Structure 1
Amino acid sequence: MGFLQANSASRGANDLTQSSLGEIYRPILRGYFVVYALYYTIMLGLNWLSMDAGRDFLTLQSATFMATCFAIFGAWRMRQPQDEPTTEALLLGMNLLVVGNVWLALEIGFIPEKLTYFIISSMLFALASPTFRQSLVAIAIALMAMFSFVDRLDAATLSAFGYLTFGAAMSSLAIAFYLRKAISRISDANEKARVELSDAMALGSEMREKSLSDSLTKLPNRRAFFSALKGVVNAAEGDEAGANTAGDTWLVLLDLDGFKAVNDVHGHKAGDLLLIAIADRLRDFAKTGAHVSRMGGDEFNMIVTGVANVDDLRDRSTELLRELAQPYVIEGRQVRVSCSAGCVQFDPSLPSDAQISNADYALMVAKKQGKNQVVLFDQEHEAEAKIRLEIETALRGADLAGEISVVFQPQVRLGDNAVVGAEVLARWTSPAVGTIPPDRFIKIAEESGLVTNITLVVVQKALDELRGWSNKLPISINLSAHDLMSDSAIEQIIELIERHEICASLIEFEVTETAMMADLQKATANLMRLADAGYSIALDDFGSGYSNFSYLRSLPITRLKVDRSFIEDPSDPMAEKVLASLVGMARVLGVNCLLEGVEDEIALLMAKRAGAELVQGYLFSEPISALDLRNALAVGRSLIEKREAG
C-alpha cells in the first residue's frame, strides 16, 4: 500500500512538473509557429514572383500554402495549454511540412548549398522540442531528408557536408538535451516555488483562522469580535443604508452563572467540555443572524443583527438563556449552569468601547438582580453608569491617604453594656465628587479592583489611632474578596500591624461568605495565615448568604456576626426562632456571636430573648470618630448610660 501511495505521489509530482514544463515551453512553441507562418506567407509571394506557372509551381505553392495554414493553426492552438500528445503531434506536423518544403524545392531545382536548410531546420527543431524524444525524431527526419540527396554530391562536397552534418547533429542533440535540462530546472524551481507559495498561503490562512478562533470552543475569539464590530461601524459610516441597518444591531454580552462551581466540583476538564457544549448551542443561535465570540473564561459576546424591536431582542435573548440553562451531560454526569445577558442597541455615533461598557453595565445589573436574566441598557442605567464612572474615575485619581478617613462603631456586651470592641469603617470625601456613601464607593472599588488600596489605607489609619490610645480597645477591620484572594495584600496588612507593634489579640478581621466564594481554597489559605499570626476572624453577615455551615468547621472562625435581616421584622415569629438557633449554634461551637443592626428597643429585646451576648447598632452609637470613642471610654460610662444621660 505504501509503495502504491509512493508511486502515486511520484506520478502526481511528475505530472505537475510536466505541466509546469509545458507552460514554460508554450510561449516558445507559439513563437515557433508564428515565425513559420510569417516565413511561409512571405515564401508564397516570393514563389509567385520568381517561378513560372506550371506543375512545379503548383506543387511547391501547395506545399508552402499547407505549411502556412498549419503554422497559423498551430499558433492558434498554442494560445491555450495543450496536453503532451497534442503538442508533439502539432510539432511533428510542422516539422514534416518544413522538411517537405525544403525537399520539394531541392527536387525542383537542386542546389547543393541549399542542403544547409536541413541542418538549420534540425537545429530549430532541437530548440522547439519540449521533450528529448521529439528532438531525436525531428532531427532524424531533417537529416534523413538531407541524406536522400547524397548521391547528387561529388566527393569533395560530400566530405564537407559530412563534417557539417555531424557537427550539426551533435550541436542539435546538445541543444535539445541541455536546453531541456535547463528549462526543466526552471520548471522544477517554478513548481517548488508554486508549492511553497501554496503551502505558505495555506499556512497563512490557517494561522489567520487560528488568530481569529478560540482554541477550545472553535468560536471566533476576542480579536474576531472586534473585527466584526469594526465591520458594523464601517458599514454604518460608509453609506446611509448601513446607518439605517445599524439600528437593527445589538451588542449582547453573556456571562455564565455558576461556572466556577463546575470547575471546583468536577474539575477543569469538565469545565472545558462544558464550554464546548455551550459553544455548540451558541453556534446554533448564531445561524439566525448573530456573530458569537468567546471573549475568554466563561464570557461570550454577540453581535445580533436584523432585530429592530426591543421586545423581539428580549424574547430571542430570553429563549437563548432558557436553552443554555438546559442540562448538559458531561463525562456521564448531568451539569447545570445558567447565563446572564446585558444588551445595548448599537449606535454608530458612539464609540464602540462606550457601547461595550454600557452592555457590560447591563450585564452587571442582570447579575445583581438574581442572574439568569436579560437586562437591556436604558436611560436609567445610563444615568447610573455615568455616576458610577464619575466615582470610579475619582477613586482612580484620588489621594486615598488624604481623602479617606475612618470612624468606629462600638460593639457592646449586653450583660453590662460595656464597649468591648469597635468596627472600623471607611469614609470618603472626594474633592471631585463630594462625600460618597460607604456602601456605594466600596462596592465600586471592589468591582473595579481598587478596594485593596482602600483597605491598606484603612488599616494604616486605624492602627495609627489605636497606637495613641492609653486603653487599647480591640478593633475589627473588614477584608474584601480582592484582599482575601491576594497573597500580597495579606502580607502587606500583616507587615503594617507588625510595624505598628500592635498586639495581634487586638485585631479582628471580618470577612463575608460571598467574599470567600470567589476561591474558597485561596481564601482559606490566607485566613489561616492571619489566624496563625494570632488575629481573630469574624464571619460577617452570617445567615444572609450561602450559610454553608461547613465553613465553621474548616475555617478559623472565632466570631459569628449575625446579619441584621433577622431583627428587621419583629412580626415574623420564624425570624426570632432562627436567630435563637444561630446564637445557640455559636455557643455550641464555642465561638462568639454578635448581632448586627440593633437600631431600637424592640431589636434589643429580640437580641436579649435570643440569648445574644454582643450587639452593634445605632441604638448604642452611630459610627463615631476615634476622639469621640476615646472620650466616651475615658469617662468610664457605658454607651447606654451615656445615651440615657443625653
Structure 2
Amino acid sequence: MLRRLINFAESSAGFDARSSIAQIYRPVIRGYFGVAAIYYIFMTLTHFQEFSGADLLSMVSASVTASLFTLFAWHALRKPLPIGKLEALTSVTNMLIIINVLVALQLEYAEPKLIYFMMMAMIFAFACVSMRQALLSIAATLGGLFYQLAQHESDQLTIYGFISFAAALSAIAITFFLRRAIGLAVAAKHEAERELKQAQNLGETMRQRSLSDSLTGLPNRRAFFETYTEYKNGGDPSHAAWLILLDLDGFKTVNDVYGHIMGDALLKEVAERLRNYCGTNAHVSRMGGDEFNIILATNAGVDAVEAWCQKLLPQIAEIYRIDDRLIQVSGSIGCTEILADETDTQLIRNADFALLHAKRTGKNRVVVFCDEHAKNAAESYRIEQALRVADFDKEIELVFQPQFDLGENKVVRAEVLARWDSPTLGSTGPDRFIKVAEESGLIANITLTVLQKTITTLKSWDQRFPLSINLSGHDLIADQVIDQIIDLVHNSGLDPTLLEFEVTESAMMPDAQKAADNLGRLAALGHPIALDDFGTGYSNFGYLRTLPISKLKVDRSFMENLTDPMSEKILHSLAGMARTLDVECLLEGVENELELLMAKRVGAQSVQGYYFGIPMTAEELFEYIEEPDMWHEQPQRSVAFGQ
C-alpha cells in the first residue's frame, strides 16, 4: 500500500518520495549519530579503566573509530544529503556498532551481553533510512548474535532462535509501520502541496484572464489602472510617463456596414499593430469598444512624445484586409504627462479633453494637453458642476429668432434658443454650456425644460405661432427622452405641426439608425423635422431621402465669402438638392442685403439671420411679426441675448 501511495504521489506530484522521507527522517538520524558519538566517547574513557595492553588497544580503536565516524556523520547532516549518502552513513555507523559489540564479546564473553544484539535490532529498526537498509542491519545484528552463540552457547541456539525471531519480527514491524506512517504523511504533504500549487496556478491564470481583454488579448481596463497606479505612485520620480488615449475614427461605420463580427476582427488587427508598435517601450491596453490607452515611460519632451504618437497614426490608418475586404479607419490621439501632484481623475480628464479636441478638429491627429486646454477644461468643469446643481425651470430663459419666408414675405416660424442665467456663472450662452451638457449627459434635462417652457409660451399666446426646437444627438438615440417629448406634447393638447424639431447631421452619426427611427416617430405624429447645419456633414442623397425631413437649413458658413464665385455654385447645389428632395431650403446667417440677394438668386425659400431679427423675447417676437420693418432699422435691439 505504501509503495502504491508513493508511486501515485511520485507520478502525480512529481517528487521523489524516498528522498522526501529520508529528509523528513534526517533530524532523527542526526540525533542517532549524536547520541552514538557521545556514547562511544564515554565508552572510550571507561575502556582505560577496564582494559589494558592489547585488549585496551582493540577496544579503544573500535570505540574511537565509532565516535569519530558518528561525529563526522552528525556534522555532515547539518544540511540535506542525497539518500544514497544518508544510507551509506547510517549503514557504516550500524556496522561500527556491531563491530564494537563483537570486539567486546571476543575479549570478554558474558551471556548477559547478548542482550546488546536485541537492543541493536530495535535501534536499527528506528534509525535506518529505508526498509532495505533496516533489513540488512537487522540481519547483520542477528548474524553476530548467532556467531557468538555458536562459539559460546551452542546449547542455547533454540531458545535464542525464538527470541531472535521475535526480535527480528518486532524490528521489521517497527521499521515497516514507522516508515509507512512517514510515507503516508509525506505523500499527503506533497499531495496537499500539489493541490495548493494547482490552486495557485489556477488563481494566477484567472488573475491573468481578469487582466486581459478577451477579444484582443491586450491588458484590459483593470490592468491599465493597475499599471497606471504603479507609474503614478510607485514609479521613479526621475522618470516621466505619459498617458495616451487613442480612439478609432469611423469604427462605428464599420460595425454598421459590415457587422460586429467584422468590427471585432478589425479591433484584433488594430490591437496587433499597437502591440507591435509599442513593444516593450509602452504599456497598451484596451479600455472597451474602440478605445485604447497607452502608458509611455520616457523622459523625452513634449515634441518627442508628439512625434512618437504621430508615427503611430499612419500605422493605424493603413488599410486592413479582413475576409477579402479592404477596410480603412484612422485614429485620434490625446495625451498628457502623468504628474504626481495631479489627481487620477484630473489626469484622465486632461487626456480625454485632448482626445476630444483631436476629434473635433479634424480627427486623425494628435493633441497634447496644454495650458490652453487646461483653461478650457477648467471652464468646462465649472460649467458642468453648475449644470449639475442648476434649477433649469428657474434659470433657463427662452429667446426666439425669426425665420422669414421669401415667397410669402413674412415671418412663418421662429427658432427657440435657450439662455442660461446661472447663479454662479452668470449669463451663459449656448456655445459655452450646450457641448458641456451633452458630454456630461445633462442635455436631456435642458431639452425637456426648453420644450416645457416652449409649450407654456405657446399656450399663453392668443395666436398660435409655429416654433422650432433643437434636439441633441443624445436626445435622438435615447428612447426614453423621445417618449417624454411625445408625452409632453400630447398632454399639452397642442397641434404637433406647431413644434418643429431641428437636428444636425453630426448629431445622428453616433447611431444613425436609432436617430432615424426616433425622428420617424416624431414625424409620424405630425412634427416637422429640419436638418440643421446642412452641407457641413457627411450626408449623401441616398441617406437624406430615407430621413423624414421637411426642411434643410444650410449652414451660415456658406454665406461668409460671397465674393468667391464658388460660394454661389455651392449654394445653388445645396438649394437644388432641397428641391430634388421636395423639402424647404432655409439659408442661415443672412445679415445684409447682399446676402439676402444671394439667398433669392440660389432659390432659397426662407432665411434666418440678423438681417431679419436677432434672438428676442416672446413679446418682442410679436412686435416684430406685426411691424417687421422697424427691426431692420434697429439691428442692435435685444443684443444682450446674443446668438
TM-score normalised per structure 2:
0.91
Q: 1:449 aligns with which of 412, 437, 441?
A: 441
Structure 1 window deviating more from structure 2 (344-353 vs 596-605): it is: 344-353
Q: Quick one: which amino acid aligns to residue 209 of structure 2?
A: K
Equivalent residue number for residue 47 of structure 2: 47
- The CA deviation string for residues 158-203 of structure 1, in whole angstroms up to 9 with x for no partner, is 6764554343223212211211111111101110121122223222
1:211 aligns with 210
Secondary structure at the counterpart of residue 554 of structure 1? coil
How far 1:480 moved relative to its partner? 0.6
- Does the Cα contact within 8 Å between 1:476 and 1:508 map onto a contact in 2? yes
Q: Hey, what does 1:23 align to over in structure 2?
A: 23
Could you say which residue in structure 2 is the equivalent of 1:310?
Answer: 302
Letter of the 1:392 partner, please give it. Answer: E
- Who is 2:101 aligned against? 102
CA deviations on 1:38-68 (whole Å, 9 max, x unpaired) are 22222222223321121x3322322223322
Equivalent residue letter for 2:120: S
- 1:488 paired residue among 466, 475, 480: 480
- CA deviation after TM superposition for structure 1 residue 645, in Å: 10
424, 430, 443: which one aligns with 1:438? 430
Letter in 1 for 2:500: E
Per the TM alignment, residue 452 of structure 1 is displaced from its structure 2 partner at its CA by 1.1
Q: Give the CA deviation at 1:392.
A: 1.4
Which AA in structure 2 matches 1:282? L
Instruction: Indicate the residue corresponding to 1:363 in structure 2.
Output: 355
Shift of 1:318: 1.4
Measure the CA separation in 2 of the matches of 1:16 and 1:464: 89
Specify the SS of the correspondent of 1:293: strand
CA distance in 1 between partners of 2:385 and 2:598 (Å): 43
Match of 1:594 among 586, 606, 611: 586
Question: SS at 2:610's partner residue?
Answer: coil
Structure 1 distance, partners of 2:398, 2:17, is: 84
- The residue correspondences of 1:514-525 to structure 2 (distance < 5 A) are 514-525=506-517
Output the CA distance in 2 between the equivalents of 1:329 and 1:75.
Answer: 73
Query: Which amino acid in 2 is paired with 1:295?
Result: M
The structural deviation recorded for 1:432 is: 0.4
Query: Which residue number corresponds to residue 4 of structure 1?
Result: none
Q: Contact conserved, 1:220 with 1:294, CA < 8 A, in 2?
A: yes
CA separation of 1:287/1:586 partners in 2, compared to 1, >3 Å: closer, same or farther?
A: closer
Question: Do the aligned partners of 2:9 and 2:15 also contact (CA within 8 Å) in 1?
Answer: no
2-structure distance, mates of 1:473, 1:482:
27
Please, which of 261, 264, 269 is the counterpart of residue 272 of structure 1? 264
Equivalent position of 2:178 in the other structure: 179
Residue deviations 1:268-301 (CA, integer Å, cap 9, x gap): 2333333333233333343463232322222222
Give CA-to-partner distance per residue, 1:584-618, whole Å, 9 cap, x none: 33223222222222221112111111222222222
Alpha carbons 1:394, 1:432 under 8 Å: kept: yes
Question: Structure 2 matches for 1:463-542, cutoff 5 A?
Answer: 463-542=455-534
* Within-5 A mapping of 1:281-296: 281-287=273-279, 289-296=281-288
Per the alignment, residue 339 of structure 2 pairs with: 347
Letter in 2 for 1:254: L
The aligned runs of 1:105-254 (5 Å cut-off) are 105-151=104-150, 152-153=152-153, 161-162=160-161, 164-235=163-234, 242-243=236-237, 245-246=238-239, 248-254=240-246
Match 2:319 to one of 324, 327, 334: 327
The count of corresponding residues between Structure 1 and Structure 2 is 628
Measure how far apart 1:12 and its partner are: 6.3
Distance 1:127 1:563 in 2: 101
The aligned amino acid for 2:591 is: E
Tell me which of 256, 261, 279 is aligned to 2:248.
256
Query: Per the alignment, do residues 533 and 139 of structure 1 end up closer, same or farther by CA in structure 2, a change over 3 Å counting?
Result: farther
After TM superposition, give the deviation of residue 462 of structure 1 in Å: 0.6
Query: Structure 1 CA distance, aligned partners of 2:111 and 2:429?
Result: 119
Cα distance in 2 between the residues matched to 1:585 and 1:370: 26
Match in the other structure for 2:619: 627
2:366 to 344, 357, 374: 374
- 2:50 is aligned with 1:58: no
In structure 2, what is the Cα distance between the partners aligned to 1:438 and 1:89? 94
What residue identity is the alignment partner of 2:421?
T
Moved more, 551-560 or 441-450: 551-560
Q: 1:328 to 1:44 in 2, by over 3 A?
A: farther
Deviation sequence 1:338-357 (CA, Å, 0-9, x none) = 22222223332332332222
Secondary structure (helix, strand or coil) at the match of 2:611 reads: coil
**Distance change (3 Å), C-alpha of 1:14 and 1:396:** closer
Q: Do residues 388 (structure 1) and 380 (structure 2) align?
A: yes
Q: Could you report, residue by residue, the CA deviation over 1:123-165 in whole angstroms, capped at 9, with x for unpaired residues? A: 111112333333222222222221223343386x767645543
In the alignment, the residues of structure 2 paired with residue 436 and residue 13 of structure 1 have an alpha-carbon distance, to the nearest angstrom, of: 73
Distance in 2 (alpha carbons) for counterparts of 1:18 and 1:286: 51
**SS at 1:535 equivalent:** coil
Q: Which runs of 5+ in 1 are unaligned?
A: 1-6, 237-241
CA contact (8 A) 1:477 1:508 kept: yes
Q: Deviations for 1:444-485, whole angstroms, at most 9, x for unmatched residues? A: 111222111111111111111112222222222111111111
Higher deviation after alignment, 266-275 or 429-438: 266-275
Supply the distance in 1 between the matched residues of 2:419 and 2:373 (Cα, whole angstroms).
26
Q: Equivalents in 1 of 2:101, 2:304: separation in Å?
A: 87
State the Cα distance separating 1:517 from its structure 2 match: 0.7
What is the distance in 1 between the residues matched to 2:319 and 2:576?
Answer: 40
Residues 335 and 642 of structure 1, relative CA distance in 2, 3 Å threshold: closer
Of 386, 396, 399, which residue of structure 2 is paired with 1:404? 396
Closer/same/farther in 2, CA of residues 284 and 610 from structure 1, 3 Å limit:
same
1:223 Cα offset (Å): 3.0
> Distance in 1 between the 2:18 and 2:529 partners?
83
Q: Quick one: distance in 2 between partners of 1:512 and 1:19?
A: 80
Query: For each residue in 1:476-500, what CA deviation from the matched residue of structure 2 results, as whole angstroms up to 9, or x when unmatched?
Result: 2111111111111111111111111
Cα deviation, residue 644, structure 1: 6.1
The amino acid that maps onto 2:263 is G
Residue correspondence of structure 1 range 552-567 to structure 2 within 5 A: 552-567=544-559
Q: Residues of 2 paired with 1:458 and 1:362: CA distance?
A: 31
Range with bigger deviation, 141-150 or 397-406: 141-150
| Structure 1 residue matching 2:545: 3-state secondary structure | helix
Residue 409 of structure 1: CA displacement? Answer: 1.6
Larger mean Cα displacement after TM superposition, 165-174 or 115-124:
165-174
- Distance in 1 (alpha carbons) for counterparts of 2:385 and 2:10: 68
Opposite residue 557 of structure 2, the aligned amino acid is S
Query: 1:632: Cα distance to partner?
Result: 4.2
Q: Is the 8 A contact 1:417 1:640 kept in 2?
A: no
How far apart in 2 are the matches of 1:318 and 1:427? 40
- Distance in 1, matches of 2:356 and 2:318, equals 23
Please list every run of 5 or more consecutive structure 2 residues that lacks an aligned counterpart in the other structure. Answer: 1-6, 636-643
Farther-moved stretch of structure 1 (378-387 vs 220-229):
220-229
Equivalent AA in structure 2 for residue 120 of structure 1: M
Does the C-alpha gap of structure 1 residues 332 and 115 become closer, same or farther in structure 2, counting only changes over 3 Å? farther
1:280 and 1:362 mapped to 2: Cα distance?
25
Cα gap change, 1:117/1:284 in structure 2, threshold over 3 Å: closer, same or farther? same
Q: Distance in 2 between matches of 1:14 and 1:128?
A: 27
Name the CA distance, whole Å, in 1 between partners of 2:629 and 2:568: 24
CA contact (8 A) 1:341 1:375 kept: yes
Q: Which moved further from structure 2: 493-502 or 15-24? A: 15-24
Give the letter aligned to residue 101 of structure 1.
N
Question: What SS does structure 2 have at the residue aligned with 1:510?
Answer: strand
